[in-house]
Structure 1
Amino acid sequence: MGPRLFYGWIVVAAAFAVCFVGFGCAYTFSAFVPALQHDFQASRGSVSIVFSLAGFLYFSLGVVSGPLADRWGAQRLAMLGMLLVGAGLALAGVAHSLATVYAAYGLGVGLGIGCAYVPALGAVQRWFVKRRGFASGLAVSGIGVGTLVMPPLATALIDALGWRTAYVALGCGAAVVGIGMARFIANDPADRGTLPDGASMAAGTMAGDGGGMPLRDAVRSRQFALLYAACLVCSFGVFVPFVHLVPYALDHGIGRKDAAYLLGAIGVGSTLGRFFLGGLADRIGRQAFLLAMFGGMAAALAIWAAATGFLALAAFALLFGLFYGGWVAIMPPVVTDLFGSRQVGSIIGVLYTSVAVGTLVGPTAAGYLFDASRSYTVPILASAAFNVVAAGIAALAGRQARPG
C-alpha cells in the first residue's frame, strides 16, 4: 500500500510557498512608489523602471534556470533564489540613491525569482499528468495569495516603520520562509519510487509521460513561435496594474490603505483563477481556456480605463486577477501538453523570455506616458488592445495544435 499522502502534493505546497514569497514581495512594489518618488525626487516613469528591471530578470532568467534545474534539480536553485530575494529587499531598504535601488531590488528580486520560479513549476509538471492543470493552478495560486496578503502588510509596515525598515523586514521574512519551504521541492517522482499521479513503479508505465521534444526541436516549432508571440504581446499590458494601480487610485482621491487593498483584490481574483480555473481547464481543454484568459484580461483592462471610484476599481481588480491567475496557471500545463515533460523546465524558461520583454517595456512605458500626459488612459487602453491581439494569436495557435 502506498503512502497516505502522495509526495507530489508536498512539491505543490513548496512551489506555492516559493511563489507566495517571491511574487508576493515583488508585487508590494506599488505600495512603495510614492515613498520612492518623494525621497529620491524621481518621476513615476523612472521609479517604474525598478519593477520592470526585476520583472525582466525574473522572467528572462528562466532560460538559464530551467535547463539548470533539468540537470541539477530544482531544490538548490529555488533555495538560492529565495536567498537572493531576501537580500535584494533588505539592500533596497538601505539604498541611498535610486540607482542603488535599481541594483538591489532589480537584481536581487529579479535574479532571485528567476532562479526559483521556473524550476519550481517545472518540478510540479513532472509529478502529475491527469491532474496537471489543477496541480499547477494550486502551485501558482501562491502568487495570488501573496498579492492578496503582502501589499497590505507592506503598507502597514511602511506606516509603522518607514519604507526602509519595511523593506528590511520583508527581506528577512522572505529568506527564512522561502528557503525553509524550498527544501521540500523534489525534481522527479522516480527518485521517490513512484510515477506521476502517485502510481506505483510496479505498475509499469501506466501513468507516466516522461518523453517529449528536446528543447532544440520545441523552440523551432511553429507552435512554440505562436505561443511565444501571444505571451510577448499580452505581457506588454499585463503587468501595468501591478505598478500603476495604486498611484492611479491615489490620483483619484482614494486613500493609501484602500489603494493597497486594490492590489489585494487582484490577489483574491488571482487566487480564485489559479485554484478553480486550473481544474476547469483540465475538463474544457487547455488551449481553449488559454484563449479565454487573454480575452478576459482585455475586457477587465477596458473596465479599468473607465473606473475612478473605489468600488469600480475593486471590481476591475477582482476580474483582472481572475483571468490573470488563470493565464499564469495554464501556461506550464499547455507547454507540457504540447512538448512533453522531457525538458519542460528549459522550454518554459525560453518561453518566459517573451514575458520578460513585455514586463520590462510595459510598466515603464506606462509610467513615462503618464509623466507626459498626466493621464493613464492611453497606456490602459493599449494594454487591453495588446491582450485582444494575444487572443487572436492564441486562437491561431489552437488551430495549429489540432491534428489532421
Structure 2
Amino acid sequence: MKGCGDNCKDRLIVCTDRHNFNNCVMGKKSLKGNIYQTDGGYGWIVVACTFFIGFIIDGLAYSFGTLLVELLVQFKQDRASTVVIGSILTGVMYLIGPLAGALSDIYGCRIIVFCGAVISSVGFVISSFATSVLYLYFSYGLLGGIGFGFMFLPAGVCVIQHFTERRALANGIAVCGSGVGMFVMNHLSRYMLDHYGWRGTVLLFAGISLQGTALGLLLLPPLPKMKVVDPMLCDTPEIFVVEGKQSNNKRRRSEDTELKVFNINDTLDTNVQLSRYETQVDKVFFDKKGNSVKKVLARVFSSKLLTHGGFLLFLLANFAVHLAFTIPFNLLPDQAVENGMTKHEASWLISSIGITNTISRIILGWLADRSCVNRMVMLDIVIFLAGIITGLSPLLTTFGTKLIYPCLYGMMIGGYVTLCPVVLADLFGTEMIAQSFGMWLFACGLAGTISSPIGGLIYDTTKNYDITFVIAGAEFLIAGLLFLCSTCVTRNKKVK
C-alpha cells in the first residue's frame, strides 16, 4: 500500500469507493458501539451466556448416570449396551467440534448455537417415545450429541477471542456452568424421574435444551479496531484490515504481515463484519463468493498442526484422558447402587463432582493467570492427581467415604477443563485456536465414545466395577506423561 505512510500501520480500513468516501465513513460510524474491546465490556456477557450454555450441555449430558439406573430397569439390557446411549451423546458432542467450527466460520456462532439447541431439543422429544435401547442410540445419543456439539465449540471459542490478559479467569468462569449444571441437573433429574418417570424427564430435557436458542443469539464476537483512510492515499482496490507491520503488497499479504481481507463489495454493515470476523483466526482471505465448506474444513484440520509432533502428542494425551473422563459420570451411580447405596445417595455422588468442579474452575482459572504460574505444569499436576484418586477409589465402599472421591475428582477435572483451552492458546497460538480447539474436541470425542461401553463391558465380564476404575486411573497417569512429552517437543518446535 504505497504512499499510505503511518495510516497503514496498526489496524485500518481502506475504502474501495474512491468517488463515495463519505459512505465509507458513515459505514465506519455505524460500527460504533459494537464490540471491539477485549478483557472486559461485552466479553462478560459472552462469558455469562457461555456459562448457561455449559449449564445446559454438561448438566444434561453428565446426568445420564442417574438416568441409566432407570433405563436398565426399563429395557432390561446389559450395562455395556445401555451405557452406549450416553457415550454416543458425549462422544458425538466432541466429534462434531471441527464441523461446528467450520459452520460457525461461515454462518457465525449465533446461528450455529441456535440450530444446535433446536436439534438437541428435537432429539430429546423423540427420545420420550423410545421403545428400545437402539432407538435411543439415534434419538438421545446421535441427535442430542450433534445439537450439543453445535452449541459447545462456538461458545468456547467466542470467550477465548474476547479475552487476552484475563483469559484463564474468563474461561474458568464460563466453564463453571458445567459444574453448576452437573450439581443442579443430577438432583433435578432424580426429582423428575421420581415424579414424571423417565419419559417425562427426557421430555423436560427437551425444554431445557431449547433455552440455548436465546443464549446463542447473544454470542457476538469482538470486532477489530478500525480507522478509515481516504482511498486517494492508498493505491489499492481492496478492503484491508491490517494487523502489525506495514505491508508493501497491494493485493496479497507479505510473509511477515498478518491481515484479514473482506469482500470488496461489502459495505461496513455490522452483520457482515460480525459473521465474518467471528472465527477468523487463521489469516484467511475472503473472495467475492465467500468461503466454501471445503475450504473452511481445510483450515479447521490445519496441516500445520497435524504435522507438529507436540500437537499430536497433546491430542494423544487428551485421548487418554477421555478414555477415563466419563467413567465416573456414567458408572459411579450404578456402582453405588451395586454397593448398597440408595438412588438418592448415588445422585449426590455425581452432584458432588459438580460442586467441587465449579469451585476449582474459578480458583485454578484465577491462579493460572498469575505470571509466576506455569499453566502446563498445573495441567500435568491435576491429571496425575485425577489418576491417583480414581485408581484408589475402589477402596472407598461406604457413602461417607465414597463421597471423598467425587469431591476430589471434581476439583481435578475442573482444573483440566479450565486449563486445556488456555494451554492450547499458549502452546500453539491464539491465531490457531479454532483449529486446535476443534481437533482437541475431535480427539476427546473419539475416546469418549468408547470409554464407558468398555467400562460397562468389563463389569459384565467381571461383575465388579473395581477393575474399571483402576484402569481409568492408569489412563489418567499415561495422559500426564504424554502431556509432559508434548511440552518438551513444543518448546523445541514452534508452529510456523
Do both share a fold (TM > 0.5)? yes
- 1:403 Cα deviation from its structure 2 partner: 5.5
Q: Which segment is superposed worse, 183-192 or 140-149?
A: 183-192
2:388 maps to amino acid? A
Partner Cα distance (1:270, 1:90) in 2: 29
Contact 1:24 1:151 in 2 (8 A): yes
* Pick aligned residue for 2:332 from 227, 245, 249: 245
Is 1:235 matched with 2:235?
A: no
* Pick aligned residue for 1:183 from 217, 228, 235: 217
- 1:54 Cα deviation from its structure 2 partner: 1.1
The aligned counterpart of 1:124 is 159
Partner Cα distance (2:190, 2:440) in 1: 34
The aligned counterpart of 1:293 is 382
* Pick aligned residue for 1:336 from 394, 418, 425: 425
Contact 2:311 2:490 in 1 (8 A): no
Contact 2:310 2:486 in 1 (8 A): yes
Q: Which segment is superposed worse, 179-188 or 145-154?
A: 179-188
Q: Which segment is superposed worse, 76-85 or 63-72?
A: 63-72
**Any idea what SS the aligned residue of 1:253 has?**
coil
Is 1:68 matched with 2:103?
A: yes
Contact 2:98 2:435 in 1 (8 A): yes
1:28 maps to amino acid? S
Contact 1:127 1:189 in 2 (8 A): no
Q: Which segment is superposed worse, 208-217 or 244-253?
A: 208-217
Contact 2:392 2:470 in 1 (8 A): no
What do residues 104-151 of structure 1 show as CA deviations (whole Å, max 9, x unaligned)?
A: 111122101111111111111111111111111111111111111101
Is 1:8 matched with 2:97?
A: no
- 1:307 Cα deviation from its structure 2 partner: 1.3
The aligned counterpart of 1:57 is 92
- 1:169 Cα deviation from its structure 2 partner: 1.1
Is 1:93 matched with 2:182?
A: no
The aligned counterpart of 2:457 is 368
- 1:302 Cα deviation from its structure 2 partner: 2.1
Contact 1:212 1:342 in 2 (8 A): yes
- 1:46 Cα deviation from its structure 2 partner: 0.6
The aligned counterpart of 2:438 is 349
Contact 1:126 1:189 in 2 (8 A): no
Is 1:280 matched with 2:314?
A: no
Contact 1:70 1:343 in 2 (8 A): no
Is 1:113 matched with 2:200?
A: no
Partner Cα distance (2:101, 2:428) in 1: 15
- 1:172 Cα deviation from its structure 2 partner: 0.9
The aligned counterpart of 1:377 is 466
2:323 maps to amino acid? F
**1:103-252 to 2 correspondences below 5 Å:** 103-175=138-210, 177-190=211-224, 215-252=302-339
The aligned counterpart of 1:197 is none
Partner Cα distance (2:151, 2:344) in 1: 30
The aligned counterpart of 2:343 is 256
Is 1:303 matched with 2:392?
A: yes
Contact 2:104 2:112 in 1 (8 A): yes
Structure number with greater Rg is: 2
Q: Which segment is superposed worse, 123-132 or 278-287?
A: 278-287
Partner Cα distance (1:212, 1:83) in 2: 29
Contact 2:281 2:433 in 1 (8 A): no
Contact 1:56 1:359 in 2 (8 A): yes
Partner Cα distance (1:112, 1:160) in 2: 27
What do residues 62-91 of structure 1 show as CA deviations (whole Å, max 9, x unaligned)?
A: 011112223332111111112222222222
- 1:282 Cα deviation from its structure 2 partner: 2.2
Contact 1:18 1:82 in 2 (8 A): no
Is 1:266 matched with 2:301?
A: no
**Any idea what SS the aligned residue of 2:408 has?**
helix
The aligned counterpart of 1:196 is none
Partner Cα distance (1:361, 1:400) in 2: 29
Is 1:397 matched with 2:486?
A: yes
1:181 maps to amino acid? L
Aligned residues: 391
Q: Which segment is superposed worse, 256-265 or 345-354?
A: 345-354
Partner Cα distance (2:99, 2:330) in 1: 26
Partner Cα distance (2:282, 2:207) in 1: 40
Partner Cα distance (1:156, 1:332) in 2: 34
Partner Cα distance (1:231, 1:71) in 2: 28
Q: Which segment is superposed worse, 91-100 or 8-17?
A: 91-100
* Residues 363 and 375 of structure 1: CA distance in aligned 2, closer, same or farther (over 3 Å): same
* Pick aligned residue for 2:52 from 17, 21, 33: 17
Partner Cα distance (2:485, 2:322) in 1: 18
- 1:263 Cα deviation from its structure 2 partner: 0.6
2:190 maps to amino acid? T
Give the fraction of aligned pairs with identical amino acids, expressed as a percent. Answer: 25
* Pick aligned residue for 2:116 from 81, 105, 114: 81
**1:320-331 to 2 correspondences below 5 Å:** 320-331=409-420
* Residues 191 and 119 of structure 1: CA distance in aligned 2, closer, same or farther (over 3 Å): farther
Partner Cα distance (1:88, 1:146) in 2: 20
The aligned counterpart of 1:315 is 404
**Any idea what SS the aligned residue of 2:224 has?**
helix
Partner Cα distance (1:191, 1:379) in 2: 53
Partner Cα distance (2:115, 2:389) in 1: 36
Partner Cα distance (2:394, 2:458) in 1: 15
- 1:285 Cα deviation from its structure 2 partner: 1.7
* Residues 240 and 315 of structure 1: CA distance in aligned 2, closer, same or farther (over 3 Å): same
Contact 2:281 2:434 in 1 (8 A): no
Q: Which segment is superposed worse, 240-249 or 293-302?
A: 293-302
**Any idea what SS the aligned residue of 2:431 has?**
coil
Contact 1:77 1:115 in 2 (8 A): yes
